[in-house]
Structure 1
Amino acid sequence: MALDNGLVDWIAEGLAADGAVTHRRMMGGATLYLDGIVFAIVDGDGSLWFKGDAESDATWDAAGCARFTYERGDGRVASMNYRRAPEDCYDDVETLREWALLGAAAGRRAPAKRRKKPSPG
């Protein structure tokens, strides 16, 4: 499926006062960044998922926001630290900002990914 550019634009407009939203395409969807910090993904079905972590899990759980899961090649189900956006995020900018900023806070707390060093050769 194609990336829902309208949703990405809606998110960028809604968060304009909080920083610049950019994205990088991935597997039919996109990873979203707020001032360079990963805070959400949009999957190929047009669903929005915000970054979560141990510190924000209770808030996501209280709102009934499911964890992102996918089936691995070997048939096992795996999950990632992303939570489904509440339905109100798609049409209420204040709700969008509230949950997106919770995702951005989780993104800021995440350890920086270490770059692989090139092998000597």
Structure 2
Amino acid sequence: MNDYGADGIIGKGPYGTVDKGRLGDNTMICIKEYNMGGKYKSFQALSNKIALLSQMNHKNVVRLLGGCVEGKTPLLVYEFIHNGTLYDHIQRSLLQRSGRPPLSFKLRLK
């Protein structure tokens, strides 16, 4: 989307940048560009994460679709989840702006 333009960036953190994109079949994806000097100090640590994520299949875990770990900036491609993050849904500020009530404690535990 827009050659990694600023309008496609949906997050930044110690690990790098997260961009929103679209595959050829219009499937929405997230692309994490990892900063190897940040959270992941070595390719081995990132490789361990990839091995773990590629084996996970759960309705509450974002699926790893693929990636590229060659070069200076490894990229991982995840499915895009609409409606914000779990953090967004737990925090009242986002929910109040959307007009929905915050999640109850019982629902959070579920």
- For normalisation by structure 2, the TM-score amounts to 0.34
Structure scoring higher RCO (CA < 8 A, sep ≥ 6) equals: 1
- For normalisation by structure 1, the TM-score amounts to 0.32
